[in-house]
């Protein structure tokens, strides 16, 4: 019996139909993210402890604390990946089966293409949502720790994130349109192959290449601008910490590490938004069965 009962096949529907499996993966992701976010701070503590006391006293204690954090991170990371593969594999099977039943009147070419597209919904839940959760937690932790070092460091991080989001928003419609063009052409592929006409296949492949080039060029411009903003933020925080603050070697390491983590986490946001642009078009398409 189908789990979906005629409902639209969307990300929201998948979360509603498989709450247990998805919540467990998200909880494991959250624990992994928190441990990852704390690692640079404990490395900074270990550096200062070892420099001041060597392998005795506070130096040994800080090293043991770091080892415990890293050990916990390894254990949770392994457990999450083992569970994720099984949980999301089940969802892929159920979703694919439902889609084929609903699209029984659609051409085989379109069925084949949409089956691959539907898998991207589950891929989004398995890969991009955990990455987004990781990004949000890292951004919050990085902002708080940078703020505790000096508010100027945190505000520069916030400014860079705002500018980056603004840059992506200017290109959102273009990403949606190009993904729609790409999916439309992919749906025709099996039918074109069945004609066994070399010229049609060559024309089809050239058109796909043209769309992919346009997508790639747009991504290059967007991420080039975003990288420039974020690298400027890193350099500013390093300069400010070294010239305007009284810091230890461990503090400098923590400031640079959390600034870099903020950059890495911030980059996940436009990637996720781009993925959502593609999924929005896919969800419209597979629900037209």
Q: How many structural domains does the chain have? A: 1
pLDDT in tens, 99-122: 877 777 777 767 777 777 778 888
pTM score, whole prediction = 0.64
Give a yes or no: residue 152 inside a domain.
yes
- Give residue 212's domain range: 11-286
Residue (of 243, 240, 266, 238) closest to 254 by Cα position: 238
Residues of the chain with pLDDT under 50: none
Domain with residue 213: its CATH number is 1.20.1560.10
CA 224 to chain centroid: 18
Give a yes or no: residue 6 inside a domain.
no
Check residue 224 and give its pLDDT.
85
pLDDT in tens, 138-163: 888 888 888 988 899 888 888 888 88
Give a yes or no: residue 249 inside a domain.
yes
Give a yes or no: residue 30 inside a domain.
yes
């Amino acid at each position: 019996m189908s789990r979906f009962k005629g409902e639209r096949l969307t990300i929201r529907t998948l979360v509603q139909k498989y709450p247990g499996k998805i919540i467990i993966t998200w909880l494991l992701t959250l624990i992994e993210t928190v441990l990852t976010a704390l690692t640079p701070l404990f490395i900074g503590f270990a550096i200062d402890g070892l420099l001041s006391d060597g392998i005795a006293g506070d130096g040994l204690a800080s090293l043991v604390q770091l080892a415990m954090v890293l050990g916990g991170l390894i254990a949770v990371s392994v457990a999450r990946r083992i569970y994720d593969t099984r949980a999301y594999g089940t969802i892929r099977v159920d979703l694919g089966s439902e889609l084929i039943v609903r699209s029984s009147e659609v051409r085989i070419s379109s069925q084949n293409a949409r089956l691959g597209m539907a898998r991207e919904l589950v891929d989004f839940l398995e890969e991009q949502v955990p990455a987004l959760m990781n990004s949000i937690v890292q951004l919050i932790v990085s902002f708080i720790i940078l703020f505790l070092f000096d508010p100027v460091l945190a505000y520069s991080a916030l400014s860079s994130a705002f500018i980056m989001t603004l840059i992506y928003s200017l290109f959102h419609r273009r990403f949606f349109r190009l993904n729609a063009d790409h999916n439309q052409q992919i749906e025709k592929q099996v039918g074109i192959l069945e004609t066994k006409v070399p010229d049609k296949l060559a024309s089809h492949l050239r058109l796909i290449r043209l769309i992919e080039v346009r997508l790639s060029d747009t991504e290059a411009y967007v991420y080039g601008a975003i990288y420039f903003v974020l690298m400027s933020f890193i350099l500013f925080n390093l300069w400010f910490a070294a010239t305007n603050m009284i810091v230890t070697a461990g503090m400098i390491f923590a400031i640079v590490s959390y600034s870099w983590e903020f950059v890495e986490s911030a980059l996940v946001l436009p990637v996720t938004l781009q993925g959502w642009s593609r999924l929005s078009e896919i969800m419209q398409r597979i629900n037209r069965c």
